[in-house]
Amino acid sequence: MSAARVVIAGGGPGGALLAYLLARAGIAVTLCEARSDFEREYRGDSLHPYTLELLDELGLADDVLQIPHVAADAFRFHTPYGTVTPASYARLRTRFNYVAIMPQARLIEFLLDRAARFPGFELRTSTKATGLVEADGRVTGLRVRDRSGEHELPADLVIGADGRFSAVRRFADLPVVSSGATTDLVWFRLPRRADDPAADLDLYAGPGRYVGVLGGSDHWRVGYAIPHGGYAAVREAGVEPIREFLRTHVPWLADRVHHLEDMGQTSLLSVDISAAPCWHRPGLLLIGDAAHVISPVGGNGILMAVQDAVAAANAIIAPLRAGTLTEADLARVQAAREAAIAQVQAEQQRTERSSDRARSRGAVLAPPRRLRPLLELPVLQRRSARANAYGPRPPKLDLALVDAA
């Protein structure tokens, strides 16, 4: 067991995976989660082939896939002009040629349960970060509040993995720069039935609007797109316009839209695309949404957080063991990931702009008619799926480093 200690604020997928990797590597790690458990309305439940292959490399995939999930093997674009399948994960040359739609809470619980099998791991729920402990210009711990009061948790490294509204980022005075967004999403659930269509990654577009539909084991999660900042007007109008859109453009859901009775059954995801110009300070590192907010476009927020955790493990385990960790090691994490994040966000911004233009004209957000036959070509379906399945510049975990405890 190394003498180094890491404190992670935030129990999302990135923080949970990094906690597991550090614990497996023999680094003492404490994960602090502000809530008492992980039961909440997550918007991202997608495990991409990269993530499944990583878990397989760690010897975890078979057990993870015992958790109830849906295997989505394609992304489909449904429009009044017909359906297009731009991405077919089934065409990928991998054992995991699908996206596993799995409750995020179950994945997090699994990772933390496995982390707890290593000595030196500690999970502290109902533990809210309230500040940083600093000495001589370096972060030396995290100040927290739990049921018993205020405490200081000493650390050789504090990791902020506490999401888009990161308290750790705020305490560290690491500002973010927003690239803006044009769309928000109103999420709700509808019952799933045995004779429903296959649960793939589906987007249904109509004039000026679209919905994303994701399948769970017993329900559908529906994300209704609205103009950014327009939730007050949508709430005032009530659920009937949403129901009518579904009746018209997702007709197989028409027989159950009555289950959406009022806006109290919905939750708002206010979309943002932003990044911190600097993800680190001496003794402190940001990963995942704390460092860069990814929009729901492409469903790869979890993927980016997982890859941040891999890059972080590769960069910090050896110097933590040796007691030589410097800010230069933390800068290596940002250097390894920043270009990929910028590329993903640029692609998301282009999609956002296209969506906004279509909405302003009352047009259908759909691939141009001349391109639709090309999008159905198997080689392009595979290429598009691969780009989404792995993201740009996917990091390779140094498994020997993780297992060298």
Q: In whole numbers, what is the pLDDT of the chain averaged over residues? A: 93
pLDDT at position 366: 79
195 shares its domain with 174? no
pLDDT-based confidence at residue 249 (cuts at 50, 70, 90): very high
358 and 327: one domain?
A: yes
The pLDDT value recorded for residue 101 is 92
Whichever domain contains 290, its CATH number is 3.50.50.60
Do 217 and 159 fall within a single domain? no
Number of domains in the chain: 2
Same domain, 312 and 336: yes
φ/ψ of residue 319, rounded to 5: -65, -30
Confidence of residue 400 (pLDDT cuts 50, 70, 90): very high
- Check whether residue 222 and residue 284 sit in a common domain: no
Q: Kindly state whether residues 251 and 276 are assigned to the same domain.
A: no
Region 74-91 average pLDDT = 92
Same domain, 321 and 396: yes
Three-class DSSP labels, the chain: CCCCEEEEECCCHHHHHHHHHHHHCCCEEEEECCCCCCCCCCCCCEECHHHHHHHHHCCCHHHHCCCCCEEECEEEEEECCEEEEEEEHHHCCCCCCCEEECCHHHHHHHHHHHHCCCCCEEEECCCEEEEEEEECCEEEEEEEEECCEEEEEECCEEEECCCCCCHHHHHCCCCCEECCCCEEEEEEEEECCCCCCCCCEEEEEEECEEEEEEECCCEEEEEEEEECCCHHHHHHHCCHHHHHHHHHHCHHHHHHHHHCCCHHHCEEECCCCEECCCCEECCEEECHHHCEECCCHHHCHHHHHHHHHHHHHHHHHHHHHHCCCCHHHHHHHHHHHHHHHHHHHHHHHHHHHHHHHHHHHCCECCCCHHHHHHHCCHHHHHHHHHHHHHCCCCCCCCHHHHCCC
Q: Which of 219, 242, 269 is the last residue of a domain?
A: 269
Query: What is the mean predicted confidence (pLDDT) over 217-229?
Result: 90
Does 335 share its domain with 239?
no
286 and 358 together in one domain: yes
Instruction: Answer with the one of 214, 239, 269 that is the final residue of a domain.
Output: 269
- Domain range for 119: 5-178+272-402
Residues 303 and 211 in one domain: no
What is the structure's pLDDT at 405?
65
Q: Which of 242, 269, 296 marks a domain boundary?
A: 269
Place 299 in a pLDDT band, splitting at 50, 70 and 90. Answer: confident
Q: Is the pLDDT of residue 14 over 80?
A: yes
pTM: 0.94
**Tell me, what's the pLDDT at 41?**
60
* Averaged pLDDT for residues 189-195: 92
| Same-domain check for residues 77 and 131 | yes
| 17 and 123 co-located in one domain | yes
Q: Which residue has the higher pLDDT, 362 or 250?
A: 250
